[in-house]
Amino acid sequence: MAGTAATDELAKGAEIRKGSRVADFCAGLGGTVRYLAHRYGADVIGIELTPARVAGAQELSKLVGLQDTACVIEGSVLQVPLADASMDAVVSQEAFCHVPELRKALTEAARVLRKDGRLAFTDWIANDHWPSMILT
């Protein structure tokens, strides 16, 4: 599954709805941030390490009129610049495999989630068995 269908599954798992406060870890250019804000009416804050991506994400959100509900801020998922217990959900799409200290990122997710908050993510996994056509 890919594209918006994958994001819809994340939203379902995280029980995102109108007014939900959501953090997107490793937001990149903010596609998921804008989609959740637009489709579900959530207030979404993306956390992104790369300044150029943050600037691009903010510009894109502004271009589509979502700057009030979809923003991406510069920061590390290892030290998230959000208050304790401030989010209803934390999501991440195919990015945790790039995080050098996954346990620390997950601890940060737990910290920013309110007591009954939810974490939903997708990620790449290593496959132990390569198809023979790749190995030849």
What whole-number percentage of the chain has pLDDT above 70? 90
Dist. CA 83–CA 111, nearest whole Å: 8
Q: What is the pLDDT of residues 74-94, one digit of tens each?
A: 999 999 999 999 999 999 998
Rounded CA separation 94/78 (Å): 16
pLDDT at 8: 95
Q: What average pLDDT score do residues 15-32 get?
A: 96
Per-residue pLDDT, averaged over 93-111, amounts to 91
pLDDT at 129: 61
Q: Rounded CA gap, 49 and 79, in Å?
A: 11
Q: What mean pLDDT comes out for the span 35-53?
A: 97
Pairing type for strands 87-93 and 113-122 reads parallel
Residue 136: per-residue pLDDT: 43
**Band (115; pLDDT cuts 50, 70, 90):** very high
Please report the pLDDT score of residue 123 as a whole number. Answer: 75
Question: Domains along the chain?
Answer: 3-123 (3.40.50.150)
C-alpha–C-alpha distance, residues 16 and 75, integer Å: 23
How many Cβ atoms sit within 10 Å of the Cβ of residue 95? Answer: 21
Least confident of 73-77, 92-96, 123-127: 123-127
